Structure 1
């Protein structure tokens, strides 16, 4: 039996995925012309209870090339990639992760596998729910807040989540995407690496 949250995910995601197929096709062509293949970026991320799944997005960076001085994310991010990120078009393929059940529309953002061992016990609670395409942290600063604040919002969501909260977060997300707020932390293409908190 599908619970209410999963039902909302499917009811909203399936039509949006279908309606954005022309945009995704145009984005795929732009990525192909700017950085070549592969068009999609695939990476293992921790999901519910920390179990790994493969998240997909449009590729926005070229491969590292130290000889050309292309090492950091900022150096590797292409103009097309920067546009896709600023408009969140790069995340449209991730809707398929929601359809599959790897993710939810709303929940803590899936981060990197290596972060699992760096969390405090409290921060690790973010994995008590499915990761989300957007979340409480995203509508309260996105990538332009500290890691500690971000995790605090994640845990707050875990403790206070409800269908009404999800709907409010989705509405705030639409507004934030249109305004292109909080795309990156200062001095970074997205956000600095999380190295762990003082316990």
Structure 2
């Protein structure tokens, strides 16, 4: 039922918002250049890697040694708008259609974090990752890693169709209020360094 709901809702959403997607793609191309999409390997269900798509929000500016500058220096005002409005995540709807992601589930983090999880934290990968999730509507990037993982595992143990509907509604409210976009002192969220 969850997968059928994901496909039906995502397909309908893409039909309704494809003009917006095209406009955003054009704006990203004009303001940030090419490529328009940010693509990165992320761990999916059971930790299996998949390629996640987002709209680019950062420049490719580098230092004298050719290293990318910190996120805070590459994130433009336009990029901040895309992130605060969550419009940068619209391309993830393609990941949902492909079956890599669900509309609701723990957010897919970085591949490099996989060996750092405790067995309990790793349980977040028992389900498909989501565009939004229980941790996102309960603090998003403004909460600690420990709180985030506890909320992710709680979702794994308590997932239901009605909980997903509640999370989707709460997501709409959070995005409208633009809450929890970043951790204090960070462009997004501090790097996860290991077990608690």
TM range (shorter): over 0.9
Shift of 1:21: 1.1
Which residue number in structure 1 is paired with residue 2 of structure 2?
A: 5
Correspondence for 1:162: 160
Matched, 1:31 2:28: yes
Runs of at least 5 residues in structure 1 that lack an aligned partner in the other structure = none
Which residue, out of 27, 35, 40, partners 2:37? Answer: 40
Which residue does 1:111 correspond to in 2? Answer: 109
The number of residues matched between the two structures is: 195
Aligned ranges for residues 65-104 of structure 1 at < 5 Å?
Answer: 65-67=62-64, 71-104=69-102
CA contact (8 A) 1:69 1:75 kept: no
Distance in 2 (alpha carbons) for counterparts of 1:135 and 1:121: 20
Query: Counterpart in 2 of 1:188?
Result: 186
Which position in structure 1 is the counterpart of 2:170?
172
1:80 CA drift (Å): 1.3
Residue aligning to 1:128: 126
- SS of the equivalent of 1:143 reads helix
Q: In the alignment, is the contact (CA less than 8 A) between 1:102 and 1:130 conserved in 2?
A: yes
**What secondary structure sits across from 1:38 in the alignment?**
coil
TM-score of the superposition, structure 2-length normalised? 0.96
Aligned residues: CA RMSD: 1.3
CA–CA separation in structure 2 for the residues paired with 1:186 and 1:22: 34
Deviation of 1:69 (Å): 9.9
Moved over 4 A (4+): none
* 1:64 and 1:76 in contact (8 A); partners too: yes
Task: Give the deviation of 1:64 after TM superposition.
Answer: 3.9
Q: Is the 8 A contact 1:30 1:80 kept in 2?
A: no
Q: Among 58, 61, 64, which residue is 2:58 paired with?
A: 61
Unaligned runs of 5+ in 2: none
